[in-house]
Each structure stands twice: as structure tokens, then as C-alpha cells.
Chain A
């Protein structure tokens, strides 16, 4: 069924009895042309674009939990394309353009809200660095505005502008950045893929990858063996565990990142704001809760929960930026497992096995990349050639010295 204002109206008249599940729960077939391991945002987007853009519809997405249980439902919902480096910038801008047309494209209300992303700067040096980033963005055709202190004060008067240690001098703003309702992204892609013939199989954990003559022939799962023509990994924080099944060692460590939501408040923060003196980012959801987060905890972890020391650190950074936060009560906090790569940038590439593809290493920037990641990965799987905007995300770039290190901290994943 196509969703529209009319369908909402009609179903309201009929007592809302006409709504059907948004996707099927099929029994897995014996064999698929493509199997995608991981039913997160990236896996579902990949399936969607494979079916819609590349005509590959005999596809299964295998998800060990349920749709929306992983990082796609655990992030702080921010979208932006304010990157400095050449390999990153066009890719994230493709993602932004796909976000801008996404709801019409997959006929689902994802509440894409381009409310603007502001990165605060607190020193002359930081202003210069942001100026450079803004200029790089503009050279790539991305919108960027450098705001001075007064311009920021007019938008966000409650910030601590005269903080003794980190006075706010201004901000780099991307007006087209903003937030998207993350669950709806998973549901919209799942529904769009399902209606085009993709089988979404939940509670189906991959336990082994079978190979014959150097090629993948299928996967062993908790629901039995399923054969495939091509196998595409999109397992995020569990990428190492899946790659271990084919003896592939990855330049990835799994770390836990926490996020938080406060009690509902009246409209207060209109944009996404990030603190330049510590790692803190915040926006306000449509329900009124402040959604915020900070750095990863810093140690390897597969647990979807974090440490109180990081909770304290995030709260301190938040109060340093917005003193009024000291009276806000936190409702919930949670953790997600991040596939931290060694240069802070992702991998979308072929592997040493002909029909095995890898999508991993999204660190904690995977949500904003969901549409472009799905699009580029679908392109790679369907054509066996990388999409032009995803060319730089090669698996062998570490060995070849072509790192894309946006932050410039080297091969130390807990610093990216």
C-alpha cells in the first residue's frame, strides 16, 4: 500500500483496520543472488538500492536481532556533510542529497529536518581550521557559513559565550545539516526493499561462511544453510566476528559509544550544536527530549552499554557549553558497538574472495552515511565496480599509505 494523506484519512474512517505490516516475515529460500549480512541501516539501504536502482531483487537481508535493534536505532540522528578531505566530502554530500529526497523516494515519513548544524569554535586557531574546512566544503559545492560570535548569540543566546576557559568566538554552520528520525530510516528502507521483492529475515544469525574453490557458496545460519551468488557484509560493530569466518583480519576495533536523551522540554534548541572545546553534540527531538552524546568510552567493547566515567564527562562538556543543562534530568542512556577503523574512515570494497564484499569501519559516523553507503555498496555489488564517490574507501588503502584521516590522529581507533 502506498502511504499518503489520503490513505491516512481513509483508514481513519475505517477504524484504522486497513493497515498491514510494513514488511513480510518470509521463510528463507534455499538460495539468493545476493545475501546481505546485517539488517541495520546500511544493509537495508543496500538491499533497497540493489532492488530499486540496479534491478537485483533476489536478495536476502539476514539480521541476527530485529530490524532497528542495532546502531540504526542507537545513534543521535544527526546528518551533515561538513567534511574536509577529498575522499570523504563528495561521498557525504551524495548522502545529504539522498537524504533530501529520501521520503518521497521510499514513501515513508522519516522526518528529515534540515535545521542546521553548528560547530562552535573557541580560539583563533580553531576558527582558522573551520574556515579551511568551510572553504573545502564550498569548493565541493557544499553549503558552509562561518558565523561570528554575534550571529551565534542571536541563534543560541543560552550558550556560555563568556566561559573563562573556552569562550565562544563563533561557529561553522551547515544549514542543510540536521536530524532524521532514525527508526523511520530503518523501517522505510525495510519496507521499500520488501515491496521490491527483498526477503528481510530477522532473528537469523550467520554462524559460518561456506566456501568452495575459493568462492563463497552460502552461509550457515541459525535458520539453516542459505546459498548465495554474492555475499555482502554490513555487520558494523560485529564485522570482525563475521570476517573471522573467512580468515580475513580487518583494520578495525570495536568500541562502545554512548548516547543520551533527557526528559521532554519546551522548544529550546533549534539546531544541532557541537562543542568545539570538548566532544559534545546536542539537538532537541520533536518530542522535546534533548538527544546528546560525546566520545567513545575508549576501550575495546562488544557490550551495548558504557561506563559512568564517560557519562560524567559528557555531562560536564554539556554543562560547559549550555549551563542551563545542569538542571535537566537525563531519562535514558544506552550504548552501541562501533566498528572503529584505523583512520576514522569507512571501507566499501571487494575482498580477497571474488564474490565477497565488505562494508565496515563507519566509526561513529555511520548514520548520516546510510543512504550513500547503501547506494555505493549496491553499485559495487551489482556491477563489481566501485561507485565514483565511494572509490577512496578501499580496504587496501592502509597498506598503500592512502589513509583518509579526517582528524589526523593516526592508527589509534580510540582517538578518532
Chain B
């Protein structure tokens, strides 16, 4: 893993300042969605080998939720964006 994460608000910051929540590719179902949709949302994961988007929280910085796109094999970081900027909620 890269030691520095380029926060869009704070610039390059040490990885220790961030908290990893997990897969940013899953979307919260509607409240009245069927049980299997909720099961998939809570428990099933793509767990890709390669490119992967995750929610990271800049806990010790701007406290914004970010989406970090990186490679799970090489640990290269491709992009870091603000989660709200993409209009995504999870």
C-alpha cells in the first residue's frame, strides 16, 4: 500500500490518518427491498483481484468520506475523490 493518500481536500497525507470502511461498489437497497437484496448488500462482496473502489474516511484530517480507487494486487492508488462529489451514498 502506498504510504501517502492524496486527499482531494488536504493533499498527500500519511495512510495512518485514514480509516477504511470497505467496498464502495455496493449500494444500500430501498428500505422496503426484499430480504435477498439486503443480504447481498450486507454480506456479499465482489472482493476483486485488481482494481477496487473503497470508502476511506479521513478520520485525522478533513473527516470527509473519500472513494479510493486502487489495485489490490500491486497496491497502486489510481484516484482519490470525495464520496459526495460522485453523488453516491452507501
For residue B42, give the distance in angstroms from its CB to the closest CB of chain A. Answer: 5
Is A299 engaged at the interface, CB distance under 8 Å to the other chain? Answer: yes
Task: Give Cα A309–Cα B20 distance, bound, in whole angstroms.
Answer: 14
Considering the complex, give the chain B residue whose CB is closest to the CB of A343. Answer: B43
Q: Is the beta-carbon distance between A250 and B45 smaller than 8 angstroms?
A: yes
**8 Å CB contacts to B: which residues of A286-331?**
297-303, 306-309
Q: Is the beta-carbon distance between A254 and B44 smaller than 8 angstroms?
A: no
Q: Is the beta-carbon distance between B43 and A398 smaller than 8 angstroms?
A: yes
Total CB contacts across the A-B interface at under 8 A: 75
Task: Give Cα A252–Cα B49 distance, bound, in whole angstroms.
Answer: 13
For residue B81, give the distance in angstroms from its CB to the closest CB of chain A. Answer: 17
Q: Is the beta-carbon distance between A412 and B47 smaller than 8 angstroms?
A: no
Q: Is the beta-carbon distance between B39 and A302 smaller than 8 angstroms?
A: no
Q: Is the beta-carbon distance between A300 and B3 smaller than 8 angstroms?
A: no
For residue B37, give the distance in angstroms from its CB to the closest CB of chain A. Answer: 12
Give the number of chain B interface residues (Cβ < 8 Å).
28
Tell me what chain B mostly uses at the interface: helix, strand, loop, or mixed.
mixed
A-contact bits for B25-37, CB 8 A (1 contact / 0 none):
0000000000110
Q: CB-CB < 8 A to B72: which residues of A?
A: 254, 300-303
Q: Is the beta-carbon distance between A414 and B20 smaller than 8 angstroms?
A: yes
Contact of B22 among A238, A254, A399, A412 (CB under 8 A): A412
Give the number of chain A interface residues (Cβ < 8 Å).
27
26 contacts between A and B (CB under 8 A): A238-B49, A240-B45, A240-B46, A249-B46, A250-B44, A250-B47, A251-B44, A253-B22, A253-B23, A253-B47, A299-B20, A300-B22, A301-B73, A307-B3, A308-B3, A309-B14, A309-B16, A342-B42, A342-B43, A342-B45, A398-B39, A398-B42, A398-B43, A399-B39, A411-B43, A412-B21
* Interface residues, chain B, with chain A CB atoms under 8 Å away: 1, 3, 14-16, 20-23, 35-36, 39-40, 42-49, 52, 54, 70, 72-75
